[in-house]
């Protein structure tokens, strides 16, 4: 598979991860409303914080998803960096292309924590939108 196609596939995967995080957010909001309704029912255990328990469980799972995604993209970053530093690739492409891709990879490495993250307060907010 050529380098451009690999980057395209990885770009699509990154979009899928962000789409998934929005889907998870929507699901969390729906479940949050359900748990609030259950919590107001007289048949539920008095004083049990359903929403808090749910937020703890889901928060831990989201943290795990982010860690797994970062590890995956770190391997992609290593592969791509090695590719754009390879003498054969450098010989095939102009210096503008090489420097542009190397700069983009450096920028991604610097900001990976921003690119692969979620707003925990917003996603787990009780009754959030």
Q: Dump pLDDT digits (tens) for 51-100.
A: 777 888 888 888 888 899 999 999 999 999 999 999 999 999 989 999 99
CA distance linking residue 108 with residue 123, whole number of Å:
24
* Residue 124 Cα to chain centre, angstroms: 16
CA distance linking residue 80 with residue 42, whole number of Å:
57
Say what the pTM is.
0.56
pLDDT in tens, 35-48: 676 666 655 556 66
Q: Which of 55, 33, 60 is nearest to 123 (CA)?
A: 55
Please enumerate, as own/partner, the contacts of 71-77 that have beta carbons within 8 Å and a separation of 24 or more: 73/10, 73/14, 73/108, 73/112, 73/115, 73/116, 74/112, 76/10, 77/105, 77/108, 77/109, 77/112
pLDDT in tens, 2-35: 556 665 566 566 656 655 566 666 666 777 777 6
3-state secondary structure at position 34? helix
């Amino acid at each position: 598979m050529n380098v451009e196609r690999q980057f395209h596939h990885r770009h699509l995967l990154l979009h899928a991860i962000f789409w998934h995080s929005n889907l998870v957010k929507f699901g969390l909001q729906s479940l949050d409303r359900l748990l609030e309704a259950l919590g107001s029912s007289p048949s539920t255990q008095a004083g049990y914080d359903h929403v808090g328990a749910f937020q703890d469980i889901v928060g831990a799972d989201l943290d795990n998803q982010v860690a797994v995604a970062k590890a995956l993209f770190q391997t992609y970053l290593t592969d791509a960096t090695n590719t754009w530093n390879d003498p054969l690739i450098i010989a095939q492409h102009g210096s503008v292309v090489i420097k542009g891709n190397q700069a983009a990879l450096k920028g991604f490495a610097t900001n990976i924590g921003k690119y692969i993250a979620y707003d925990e307060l917003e996603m787990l907010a009780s009754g959030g939108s």
